[in-house]
Amino acid sequence: MSETPVRQSLTERLLAGDRRALARAITLVESDDPRGWELVREVYPHTGRAAMIGLTGAPGAGKSTLIGALAKLRREQERSVAVLSIDPSSPFTHGALLGDRIRLTEHFLDPGVFIRSMANRGALGGLSEAALQAALLMDAAGRDDVFLETVGVGQAEVDIIDHADTIVLVLMPGSGDSIQALKAGVMEIPDIIVVNKADHPLTDTMVREIKSVLALGAVGHGHDDAFWSVPVIKTQAHIGEGVAELVAKLDEHRAFIEAQGTLSERRRRNLRSEVLSICTHRLRRQLEARIEGDPRFQELLDEVVARRLDPASAAGEILGRLES
């Protein structure tokens, strides 16, 4: 006399917050399965509620440990959490960043914390596109906080970080390159800066250095939140030190951008650029599919290699043929 359970659709289960449905949905998106895109289309009206927090910084700065500590605190506040780690390491060193992910294991058994990582499969724009869809799915599944973890050195094509509402740069004492990049304006000023591993003797020197860089940029650092004073927070993520202060600043920043209207401005700008990026990515894929194995393309390329035809003219010929 067992009851026959009503078989729910993946969409329904996802919207109900089912972890397995969320995992399955992300796999569909990641493998570029049309059902994944269809799913995102269906659940999209239920997105926009999660706080999207991007954490970036060089490998080794302790981003994963910090996210683990943040997740713990958010769970104590009875908020549900999702973590999306973008791993841009090359296929040849695959798993190099896995050590980081292991630091999140204490949450593996808590259904309130959903953890997923995505590796770069070399497709230009593809990873970023898939990652954004995954973040939307996490949002639709009712996660209150979505943490997006990316490596912020030399991988600008993974620009998922731009879709975060709040961007946190995680540094550690001795990470001179990132400071130099901030100073030179090569790296954008984030919303919050964390100096992790703050038991290091050079911590205060680094905090001073960061503050002087921020002071330099105070006139106009290209940020739309003109009156948000970027806080510099010292943490020791492995023992939870400073994490409560970081959570408070995350909430403060969220309240600030909501009050100023910059949250919706930022989201509009990001969504515009996302739509254009998806278009561009698809155009490039169409282009590659059309020239793949096309002997005329190989001939053009041979001409370019032989220095008889320049790259721009070759591009012009290819585009001309596509249009005709």
Interface with a second copy (CB under 8 A), residue from 16, 156, 226, 248: 156
Site for a second copy in 182-241 (CB under 8 A): 183-188, 216-217, 220-222
Neighbours of 23 (CB within 10 A): 15
User: CA–CA separation, 211 vs 50, rounded Å?
Assistant: 30
Distance between CA 52 and CA 159 in Å, rounded? 14
Single residue of 9, 31, 77, 280 touching a second copy by CB under 8 A: 280
Nearer to a second copy, 16 or 276 (CB): 276
Nearer to a second copy, 22 or 187 (CB): 187
Number of residues that bind a second copy (CB under 8 A): 82
DSSP-assigned letter for residue 160: G
Residues between 112 and 141 with contacts to a second copy, criterion CB under 8 A: 129, 132-133, 136
Q: Strand order in 145-151's β-sheet? A: 113-119, 81-87, 145-151, 51-57, 166-171, 192-195, 232-234
Window 282 to 301, contacts with a second copy (CB under 8 A): 282-284, 287-288, 300-301
- The one-letter amino acid at 124: L
Residue in 25, 20, 30 with CA at minimum distance from that of residue 111: 20
Task: Please tell me whether residue 110 binds a second copy under the rule CB under 8 A.
Answer: no
- Considering only residues 245 through 264, tell me which ones interact with a second copy, judged by CB under 8 A: 264
Nearest C-alpha neighbor of 251 from the set 191, 189, 207, 211: 191
State both tokens at 92.
């040849």
Residue 156 structure tokens: 């600008």
List the one residue from 60, 126, 231, 240 that touches a second copy (CB under 8 A): 60
Work out how close the CB of 199 gets to a second copy at its nearest, in angstroms, rounded to a whole number.
16
Instruction: Say if CB 75 and CB 112 are below 8 A apart.
Output: yes
Q: For a second copy, which is the closer residue by CB, 140 or 247?
A: 140
Of 6-14, 19-27, 103-111, 171-179, the segment contacting a second copy by CB under 8 A is 171-179
Span from 63-71, 73-81, 103-111, 175-183 in contact with a second copy (CB under 8 A): 175-183
Which 69-98 positions form the footprint of a second copy (CB under 8 A)?
88-94, 96-97
Instruction: Please state the closest distance from residue 69 (CB atom) to a second copy, in A.
Output: 20
Strand partners, 85: 117, 149
